[in-house]
Copies of this chain bind each other. A is one copy, B any other.
């Protein structure tokens, strides 16, 4: 059953959300959403903005930030923090809930779900009197490809953030 926001419905869902707030369904908003939902992976704002500019030059970065927030408010998108010092976004509610496996060597991010862990998290919350609202979990390690390739090396995530490739 149902809290679906798959590749089809974002248009209507977004329009509904905007109208509900007395807002306006504008060209840039639709363009940015269009591009975002066409992307794979967990792009950062910068990546989204670049993709948008490729198809619709003239759209300002501030609007990309603002629209991503809008999509987040609409529940169509979720912000993630992988400890890199900037936010990454992903389409929301693709599945019930999922966590991430982040390869510290190549940066690949795999998604996975585990109901047993979900249950234990809920139990742990209750054990401490918490009313669980949400949770996040990331496992950092080396993916099979990098293990085979023997590259345990670079792309240090975790710990000391804000240093990932500079780009200005």
Q: Point out residues on A near B: beta carbons under 8 Å.
A: 69, 72, 78-79, 81, 83, 87, 99, 101, 103-104, 110, 112, 114, 116-117, 120-121, 124-125, 127-144, 147, 158-161
Q: Known: A69-B160, A101-B125, A110-B128. Contact between A137 and B140, CB under 8 A?
A: no
Question: Of the candidates B72, B112, B125, B128, which one forms a contact with A128 in the assembled complex, judged by CB atoms under 8 Å apart?
Answer: B112
A131 cross-chain contacts in B, Cβ below 8 A = 141-142, 147
Number of copies: 2
A141 touches B132 (CB 8 A): yes
Please indicate the chain B residues that have their CB under 8 angstroms from the CB of A160 in the complex.
69, 72, 79
Q: A121-B139, A136-B138, A137-B135 are contacts. A130–B103 as well, Cβ < 8 Å?
A: yes
Question: Which of A69, A139, A144, A147 has the most CB atoms of chain B within a 10 A radius of its CB?
Answer: A139
A-B contact pairs, 7 of them (CB 8 A): A81-B81, A83-B136, A120-B120, A130-B143, A134-B141, A136-B138, A136-B158
Q: Is the CB of B143 within 8 A of A124?
A: no
Note all chain B residues with C-beta closer than 8 A to A120.
Answer: 114, 116-117, 120
